[in-house]
């Protein structure tokens, strides 16, 4: 009974999360022509090993090391990013919007003013201050600006 309760609760959380993803994606697609985001971690980190069908047990799967990777994947999958990005991509495509994944490396360490990259630019979790040109701003804002700048470069390259 306890297991069923937990399963039921998980189902509820999944539905709420999916609902939130759909709403958020709808709003973004409605309000923006271009949506840029950091590409998810390298394929090796986010992709769980493909399940191997068990020939002796139709519908069953052989162990394939998925559990060992699960801990690492959990932090990414719990946030539901992959699911959200899938939903976003679908809605954007049917609405004729662009979704641009960009290289996520150093987005929070790169100065959007002069391009200087250093972890020292990131003074605290919240504060960015370039050690070369002195540009200072909210760190999240700097990260978002860099994502947008990179998406702009992608758009230019495609034009
Ligand atoms: Zn700078």
pLDDT digits (tens, 9 = 90+) for 7-46: 888 888 888 888 989 999 999 999 999 999 988 764 444 4
What is the SS3 assignment for 122?
A: strand
Q: CB–CB of 49/64 below 8 Å?
A: yes
Q: CB–CB of 128/118 below 8 Å?
A: no
User: What is d(CA 134, CA 123) in angstroms, rounded to the nearest whole number?
Assistant: 12
The pLDDT tens digits of the residues spanning 31-88 come to 999 999 988 764 444 444 455 555 555 554 444 444 444 554 454 454 578 888 999 9
Rounded distance from Cα 28 to ligand 1 centre (Å): 30
Rounded distance from Cα 17 to ligand 1 centre (Å): 38
Rounded distance from Cα 109 to ligand 1 centre (Å): 10
């Amino acid at each position: 009974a306890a297991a069923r309760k937990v399963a039921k609760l998980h189902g509820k959380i999944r539905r709420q999360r999916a609902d939130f993803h759909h709403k958020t994606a709808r709003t973004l697609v409605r309000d923006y022509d271009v949506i840029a985001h950091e590409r998810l971690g390298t394929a090796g980190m986010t992709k769980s090993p493909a399940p191997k069908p068990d020939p002796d047990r139709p519908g069953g799967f052989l162990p394939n090391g998925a559990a060992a990777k699960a801990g690492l994947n959990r932090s990414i999958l719990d946030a539901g990013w992959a699911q959200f990005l899938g939903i976003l991509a679908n809605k954007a495509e049917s609405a004729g919007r662009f979704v641009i994944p960009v290289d996520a490396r150093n987005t929070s360490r790169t100065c959007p003013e002069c391009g200087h990259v250093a972890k020292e630019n990131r003074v605290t979790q919240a504060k960015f201050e370039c050690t070369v040109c002195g540009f200072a701003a909210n760190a999240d804002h700097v990260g978002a600006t860099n994502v947008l700048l990179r998406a702009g470069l992608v758009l230019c390259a495609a034009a």
